[in-house]
Amino acid sequence: MRRGIDLAALTLLVVALAASLEWRQTRLRTALLTSYADSLPADPALHAYANWVAVRAYAKNCAGCHGASLQGDTRRGVPDLRHGTWLYDFGRVSDIERTILYGIRSGNAKGRNIADMPAMGITHRLTPNEISDVASYVISLSRSGGEAGAIARGAAIYQGKGECFDCHGADASGNIDWGVPALASGARLYGGTMADITTSIHDGRHGRCPAWVGVLDAATIRALALMLHDAAAGRPQA
């Protein structure tokens, strides 16, 4: 009889603990969703919960492209998420959340799809020699050296015939509203070698990120945004 009572008590205890855990997770999930997204980095409790959710979701849904360590892949133009170099907006939690929700050139009506890199060689807008000169100029913006004549010619094409300034800016600072990279920063989505940059100018680039709205729930998407914001800020992940 005693053994039966102990087993019943243990069962009740397990049920109570499970209910308590579920209640706590529901409470944290609600707080995560109802809090102002950009205030979340200052909330330690929500950090811990969001990280617990996001690490698992990232491994299942995002690591296949961005890599297990968030390192990206320059061969495919998949960004490195560890260093806070954002194509769109300012890298706030709300900015990252929007990108995850709606994607980039994803086909979603709310996706980021204002501009992409035209194929200057395929369309014969620039000759191979002109493309080589522009690539030399782009490299010179973040690295010393290079052939002075090619750099000068490339700068003239950038500001003139190529009309590169129209998107990238006269000072090559890019445009975070359009997702245009800052060429002066030295950060290269598709790699920074002469061959990489020449290919980008010649072939164009049309990177894509899928929209996760309707695939992942809202709390998971927000948790991922907070995790990526933390990673870019140098905070360790679990």
Enumerate the domain spans of the chain. 2-101+218-232, 128-203
Q: Is the pLDDT of residue 206 over 90?
A: yes
On whether the CB atoms of residues 114 and 104 are closer than 8 A, the answer is no
- Candidate from 16-20, 63-67, 158-162, 232-236 with smallest mean pLDDT: 16-20
pLDDT for the residue numbered 16? 46
Radius of gyration of the chain (CA): 24
Give burial (CB, 10 Å; 0-12/13-18/19+) of 46: buried
Q: In sequence order, which residues have a C-beta less than 8 Å from that of residue 146 and are 6 or more positions away?
A: 136, 139, 140
pLDDT for the residue numbered 224? 97
CA distance 118 to 77: 15
Tell me, yes or no, if the two domains 2-101+218-232 and 128-203 fold the same way: yes
CA distance 141 to 81: 23
Q: Please name every residue paired with 104 in a beta bridge, in sequence order, or none if there are none.
A: 112, 209
Q: Is the dihedral of CA 228, 229, 234, 237 positive or negative?
A: negative
pLDDT for the residue numbered 6? 64
pLDDT for the residue numbered 238? 46
Q: Name the residue with higher pLDDT: 144 or 235.
A: 144
- Summarised one tens digit per residue, pLDDT across range 86-116 is 999 999 999 999 999 999 999 999 999 988 9
Q: Enumerate the H helices of the chain as residue ranges.
A: 2-34, 44-61, 63-66, 93-102, 128-140, 148-159, 165-168, 194-203, 218-232
On whether the CB atoms of residues 50 and 227 are closer than 8 A, the answer is yes
Class of domain 2-101+218-232: mainly alpha
The pLDDT > 90 percentage for the chain reads: 75
Structure tokens at 41: 């980095």
**128-203: which CATH number, 2.60.40.10, 3.65.10.10, 3.10.129.10, 1.10.760.10?**
1.10.760.10
CA distance 129 to 136: 11
pLDDT for the residue numbered 187? 86
Q: Is 37 helix (H, G, I), strand (E, B) or coil?
A: helix
The total number of residues written for the chain in this structure:
238
> What integer best gives the mean pLDDT of the chain?
89
Tell me the pTM: 0.85
Q: Is the pLDDT of residue 217 over 70?
A: yes
Place of tokens 């950090």: 47
